[in-house]
DNA sequence: CGATTGACACCAA
DNA sequence: ATTGGTGCCAATC
């Protein structure tokens, strides 16, 4: 069943939307920057999503940013966490298969907001 | 204000 | 299939 989130119009900032989507990522699932950007209407603004995440660590430390990886399912931003192993460790703890900072079952663990969520 | 950087993605060769 | 180059938008220097 679709969550039907519907990002409130109160979210005026692009970053807020990113935070919202990331916060809605179910445990054991992951998504990509491009998917989030696409969901927000800017499929080419993946870098922006990454930028938002970078700040999210300081602004929203509770945000499950470890569930956001690049298009390849690679834990590109693991170095931005408390420790370089925090990201992979959390993903593994959630049931994901992460080897060498690479999500093995990325295909089945992939969670596309554009598909799972209703705009 | 101009140039460079950044947790990326996509197209072309 | 792999590698290289270009585009995205905002922030920081």
pLDDT classification of A95: cutoffs 50, 70, 90: very high
pLDDT at residue A13, as a whole number: 64
Q: Is the pLDDT higher at A118 or at A91?
A: A91
pLDDT at residue A62 greater than cutoff 90? no
CA distance A21 to A72: 19
Looking up tokens 């990454």 gives: A50
Instruction: Give the pLDDT confidence of A70-86 residue by residue, as tens digits.
Output: 999 999 989 889 888 99
Q: Is A69 helix (H, G, I), strand (E, B) or coil?
A: strand
Answer yes or no: is A68 CB < 7 A from strand C: no
Answer yes or no: is A42 CB < 7 A from strand C: yes
pLDDT classification of A11: cutoffs 50, 70, 90: very low
% of chain A surpassing 90 pLDDT: 45
Q: What is the mean pLDDT of residues A96-115?
A: 91
Nucleotides on strand C lying under 7 Å from protein C-beta: 7-11
Q: Please state, as a whole number, how many other Cβ atoms lie within 10 Å of the Cβ of residue A91.
A: 25
Which nucleotide's C1' is closest to A46 (Cα)? B8
Contact A67, A18 (CB under 8 A): no
Choice among A4-13, A53-62, A93-102 with the minimum mean pLDDT: A4-13
pLDDT at residue A37 greater than cutoff 70? yes
Distance A27 CA to C12 C1' (A): 34
């Amino acid at each position: 069943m679709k969550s039907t989130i519907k990002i409130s119009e109160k979210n005026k900032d692009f970053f807020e939307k990113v935070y919202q989507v990331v916060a809605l990522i179910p445990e054991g699932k992951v998504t990509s920057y491009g998917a989030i950007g696409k969901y927000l209407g800017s499929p080419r603004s993946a870098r922006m999503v990454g930028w938002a995440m970078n700040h999210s660590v300081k602004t929203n430390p509770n945000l499950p940013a470890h569930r956001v990886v690049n298009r390849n399912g690679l834990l590109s931003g693991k170095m931005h966490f408390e420790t370089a192993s925090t990201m992979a460790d959390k993903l593994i703890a959630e049931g994901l298969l992460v080897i060498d900072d690479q999500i093995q079952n990325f295909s089945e663990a992939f969670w596309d907001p554009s598909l799972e969520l209703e705009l």
